[in-house]
């Protein structure tokens, strides 16, 4: 069970890192995107296990796929909400990465 949840977290971190590099953050902290991706991956994989009735295992490919989809959805929703409602500052490009 612990290995399954750890796998979901790793998938969320990887997808969040890739999304943070692909999406222009407009000065936003990339750690927020990573944490949202981890949260989205855990929620999506947990919903998959509840709906399908499959137990949490270390290498469940379908749960990992749903974790990746949940991470992508979480990051996209976060950046849409952040860019539309929260971020009212002028555009600044961060080059410290």
* Domain chopping of the chain, boundaries: 2-85
pLDDT of residue 14: 83
CB 75 within 8 A of CB 33: yes
**Does the pLDDT at position 59 exceed 80?**
no
CB 64 within 8 A of CB 14: no
Q: CA-to-CA distance for 25 and 83, rounded, in angstroms?
A: 9
As a whole-number percent, the residues of the chain with pLDDT over 90 amount to 0
Would you say the pTM of this structure is higher than 0.85?
A: no
């Amino acid at each position: 069970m612990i290995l399954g949840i750890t796998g979901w977290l790793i998938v969320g971190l990887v997808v969040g890192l890739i999304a943070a590099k692909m999406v222009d953050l407009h000065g936003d902290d990339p750690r927020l995107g990573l944490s949202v991706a981890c949260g989205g991956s855990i929620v999506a994989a947990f919903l998959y296990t509840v709906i399908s009735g499959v137990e949490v295992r270390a290498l469940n490919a379908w749960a990992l796929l749903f974790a990746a989809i949940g991470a992508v959805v979480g990051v996209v929703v976060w950046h849409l909400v952040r860019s539309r409602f929260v971020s009212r500052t002028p555009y600044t490009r961060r080059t410290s990465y």
